[in-house]
Amino acid sequence: MKLTGLNHITINVIDLDASKRFYEEVFGLEPCGFKDMGDHTLTYYQLPQGVLLELIDYEAKRDPLPVSETQTGTYRHFCLEADSLDELYEICREHGVSVRSAPAFVEKLGRSNMLITDPNGVEIEIFLAG
């Protein structure tokens, strides 16, 4: 047995409309599917390399749990690549996106990155492609 790829990344959304605006306006993604599952809906976006982003909108929502950056045993973030961190930074500023770390070269990683937070509090790291 061997793993053959990554299929999708799922986010339980707080506000579907705000989440859709974020992923469409900041990253330029277009919806590529929708499923009504009864007690929740699934909205899909195509990421590079065939990976899907799945936004789950539950009818019965619970308050988000606070998660700190150093809390162990929890999911931390996902990382995307972009061809221009400076352009993405400006788009984030124009849309009022929470930027946790502006574009910078990280010596120990040997590449540039930035960190932002989506409307659901999900941290997203973006590496400069290359």
Question: What proportion of the chain, given as a percentage, has pLDDT over 90?
Answer: 85
69 lies in some domain: no
Number of domains in the chain: 1
- Taking the model in full, what pTM does it have? 0.90
**Separation of alpha carbons 47 and 35, rounded Å:** 18
Name the pLDDT band for 28 (thresholds 50, 70, 90).
very high
Q: What is the CATH number of the domain that holds 35?
A: 3.10.180.10
Q: In 3-state terms, what secondary structure has residue 23?
A: helix
41 lies in some domain: yes
| Cα–Cα separations (whole angstroms), residue 57 to 28, 39, 90, 93, 111 | 21, 9, 29, 26, 35
Residue 66 has pLDDT above 80, yes or no: no
66 lies in some domain: no
Q: Give the pLDDT confidence of 30-57 residue by residue, as tens digits.
A: 999 999 999 999 999 999 999 999 999 9
Instruction: Say how many CA atoms lie within 13 Å of 69 toward its Cβ.
Output: 7
